Amino acid sequence: MRVLLVDHDSEALETITRAIRGVLELDCVTSKGDALLLLRQNQYDVLIACERAVDGSGLDLLGRTTRTATPLKRIFFWFRRARDPLEARAAVLAAGARAARTPSA
């Protein structure tokens, strides 16, 4: 399984990469632009996007990936304190992705 993970926090991406190394094929980027480039160049099974990327919104990224050449599962995550949960859930569903909540810090 090949996964593309997009998050503005490069330290979090490094931690995740170390934790699942060898379990699945994982590419990590911090920007929406880099994610779109990789999606054009590679075939992924899953796209996981955080609410924030260094150059925009993870929701915007998910919305721009609704028509890919191959089926792509899309997962969006956010921190509850960053956005109203009901508003975020509605936006995620409108983008056609699955929602996953992270616990508050």
| pLDDT one-digit tens code per residue, 27-84 | 999 999 999 999 999 999 999 998 878 888 888 888 888 776 678 888 887 765 555 5
The residues, ordered by sequence, that sit 6+ positions from 24 with a Cβ below 8 Å of its Cβ are: 1, 2, 3
Q: What gap in Å lies between CA 33 and CA 29, rounded to an integer? A: 9
* Per-residue pLDDT at 89 exceeds 70: no
What residue segments make up the domains of the chain, in order of their start? 2-102
User: Regarding predicted confidence, which is higher, 97 or 30?
Assistant: 30
pLDDT score recorded for residue 76: 81
CATH homologous superfamily of domain 2-102?
Response regulator (3.40.50.2300)
pLDDT score recorded for residue 59: 80
pLDDT score recorded for residue 52: 79
Q: Which of 65, 82, 83 is nearest to 74 (CA)?
A: 65
pLDDT score recorded for residue 68: 67
pLDDT score recorded for residue 105: 44
Q: What gap in Å lies between CA 43 and CA 1, rounded to an integer? A: 10
What pTM does this model have?
0.73
pLDDT score recorded for residue 97: 56
